[in-house]
A and B are shown apart, each in its own frame.
Chain A
Amino acid sequence: MCGIVGLFLKDQSLAPQLGNMLTEMLITMTDRGPDSAGIAIYGAESAGKTKITVQSAGPENDFNGLADELGKSLGATVRQTNNHTHSVLEIPAGQFEPARAALAEIRPSVRIMSHGDMLEIYKEVGLPKDVADRFNLRGMSGTHGIGHTRMATESAVTTMGAHPFNTGSDQCLVHNGSLSNHNSLRRKLRREGVHIQTENDTEVGAAYLTWKMMNGASLGEALESSLEDLDGFFNFVVGTKDGFGVVRDPIACKPAVMAETDQYVAFGSEYRALVNLPGIEDARVWEPEPATVYFWSHSDSPAPQEKAA
């Protein structure tokens, strides 16, 4: 089944409350996805740095001295901030590929959750409330974020199978539905040089968008072409460094509701997820159309919206 929530702030005075609002929304969607939960949050960036969020099943050993050893490999200073089973490593910008290779050497049991200037992803198996508490998601601030509660269908209930997925710098995706052509597409994308870590269908959806954008497409264009190239059921909510997008497949059997005010754009699998947002009584609330790309960006004027089909 799965539940999706997303919040894109237009009014940055709400930024300190982003984690709290998203956590409320996420917990409301527990009965759509009690297996695992995750959140992608776009927080502060530091100039000249890239963030890598890593995860370990044995953080007390794996995270011990990790920044120093990675720093030695990269010949640079690395800052490390541990949070439960996750740790955020700040490395010099442009050093992600060498860092990924070094991590595979020095800590083979550590998994990479995300990389980017602003993006951090926290996800684990368990009830959304417990996952949120473990990472203190409520205390996080940011400009936009996406959350997911999972009821697994296409791959095992593991941390790596939980959403959101990150396959390119500052890009993330969550999914409600199931893709049926993910195996062939995964082979094709790997041949094209896209890094895919799991057997999960959603990761292939994320990797597909990354590949499109690597080849010059905007997020909006990549989402439009997903309607042609992805087979199956999907509601996608995606994030980029400064953008937030939504697309539903043409059959549109997975539920979706959106709300927009002067302060934010919000997405929920159900209206229940949105009921505690400020000013929801007067928000414009609507169900996104099938096969239609919706996209908001901090760098453009608000609410461009284009018909894809």
Chain B
Amino acid sequence: MQTYDLEADGLRGLNSALQAQQNATNQTSWEVVNPKGSHAIAVGLDAPIEVTIKGSTGYYCAGMNQQATVKVEGSVGPGVAENMMSGQVIVDGDASQYAGATGHGGLLVIKGNASSRCGISMKGIDIVVHGNIGHMSAFMAQDGNLVVCGDAGDALGDSLYEARLFVRGSVKSLGADCIEKEMRPEHIEILKDLLDRAGSDAKPEEFKRYGSARQLYNFDVDNAAAY
């Protein structure tokens, strides 16, 4: 176990040490103490290592992650796991706005609530939120799965492409071109797997599925009012 004191030794040293880890590294387990809400902790990692952050973080924690598992024992500021490619990011507390934005792959788990714009423009990432999500979540989401065990705020899935949205609780309102869809056996399978991996005991049958009505993909003057 490598322990890094962020307050004493600084952010740049931490990120260069973590980014220098290779696939065959034997320093596979890292602990970051005294994060104190700092920005850009553990960003740009590309090795199968596990990093545990002992406290809350600021903006852009675990951005651009590949392969690594980053656990935050606290809450995260805006833009956690932004543009993640692979690996896992697990947040014990809440996440601020645009969690998992533009993510291409990997799994983001938020055990508390996520605020507005969760999964905005997601492109293949899987996001599981144990609590609620805020307004404009999954705006222009292209691919991947967003699972919400609680409620969703206004304008869920506005201008949605092919991402799948699963919500167990209420949805305050759906965005333009987002509709409720039938939950078929293959969706139950996807959901079961994601809930298992995210450590949630919610039952897949309790969720509703939302997706794109595919009316706004190409501009059609008859749809002008819907944009």
CB-based A-B contact count at 8 angstroms: 44
In the complex, what residues of A have CB within 8 A of residue B93's CB?
A: 285
Looking at the assembled complex, report how far the CB atom of B57 sits from the nearest CB atom of chain A, in whole angstroms.
8
Q: How far is the CA of A272 from the CA of B116 in the complex (A)?
A: 20
CA distance A176 to B182 in the complex (A): 43
Known contacts A255-B78, A255-B96, A286-B94, A275 near B37 by CB under 8 Å: yes
Residue B200 lies at the interface, judged by CB distance under 8 Å to chain A: no
Instruction: Decide: A287 and B94 in contact? CB cutoff 8 A.
Output: yes
Nearest residue (CB) in B for A253 is: B97
CB distance from B199 to the nearest CB of A (A): 22
Q: Which of A251, A253, A270, A286 contacts B77 (CB 8 A)?
A: A270
Cα distance, A280 to B36, chains bound together (Å): 11
Complex Cα spacing A273 to B75, Å: 14
Residues of B within 8 A of A275 (CB): 36-37
The answer to whether the Cβ of B38 comes within 8 Å of any Cβ in the partner chain is yes
In the complex, the answer to whether A272 meets B135 with C-beta atoms within 8 Å is: no
The residue from B56, B97, B115, B116 contacting A271, defined by CB atoms under 8 A apart: B56
Closest to A255 in B: B78
Query: Is B116's CB under 8 angstroms from A290's CB?
Result: yes
* Interface of B: prevailing SS: loop
Chain B's interface size range is 10 to 19
Min distance, Cβ A155 to any Cβ of chain B, angstroms = 26
| Structural contact, B58 and A270, CB atoms closer than 8 A | yes
A175 CB to nearest B CB, Å: 19
Residues of B within 8 A of A290 (CB): 116, 134-135
Size category of the A interface is 10 to 19
* A271 and B134 form a contact (CB under 8 A): no
Within the assembled complex, what's the spacing in Å between the Cα atoms of A302 and B94?
A: 24
The residue from A250, A255, A272, A287 contacting B38, defined by CB atoms under 8 A apart: A272
Residues on the A chain within 8 Å of B59, using CB: 270
Cα A286 to Cα B112 in complex, Å, equals 11
A252 at interface, CB cutoff 8 A: yes
Contacts of A286 in B (CB 8 A): 94
B77 cross-chain contacts in A, Cβ below 8 A: 255, 257, 270-271
- Encode A129-149 as 1/0 by CB contact (under 8 A) with B: 000000000000000000000
Which of B37, B57, B78, B93 has the largest number of chain A CB atoms within 10 A?
Answer: B37
For chain B, residues 32 to 49, give those with C-beta under 8 angstroms from any C-beta of chain A: 36-38
CA distance A232 to B110 in the complex (A): 30
Residues in A neighbouring B56, C-beta threshold 8 A:
271, 285
Q: Which residue of A lies closest to B75 (CB)?
A: A285
A287/B115 in contact, CB under 8 A: yes
Contact B97 A252 (CB under 8 A): yes
Please measure, in the bound complex, the distance between the C-alpha atom of A16 and the C-alpha atom of B38, giving whole angstroms.
29
**Which residues on A sit within 8 Å (CB–CB) of B115?**
252, 287
Shortest CB distance A135–B (Å): 26
Task: Answer whether A252 and B94 are a contact pair too, CB < 8 Å, given A270-B77, A271-B75.
Answer: no
Residues in A259-278 with C-beta less than 8 Å from chain B: 270-275
Contact check, B36 vs A272: say whether CB atoms are below 8 A apart: yes
**Contact residues in A for B36 (Cβ distance below 8 Å):** 272, 275
Contact with A along B49-61 (1 / 0, CB 8 A): 0000000111100
- Least Cβ–Cβ distance between A25 and chain B, in angstroms: 12
Please list the 6 inter-chain residue pairs (A to B) with the smallest Cβ-Cβ separation, ordered nearest first: A272-B37, A271-B37, A275-B36, A287-B115, A271-B56, A275-B37
* A residues with CB within 8 A of B: 250-253, 255, 257, 270-275, 285-287, 289-290
- Which residues of B line the A interface, CB within 8 A? 36-38, 56-59, 75, 77-78, 93-94, 96-97, 115-116, 134-135
Q: A252-B115, A255-B78 are in contact. List 5 more A-B contacts (CB 8 A).
A: A250-B135, A275-B36, A285-B56, A287-B94, A290-B134
- Can you name 9 A-B residue pairings with CB atoms under 8 Å? A250-B135, A252-B115, A257-B77, A270-B58, A270-B59, A270-B77, A271-B57, A271-B75, A271-B77
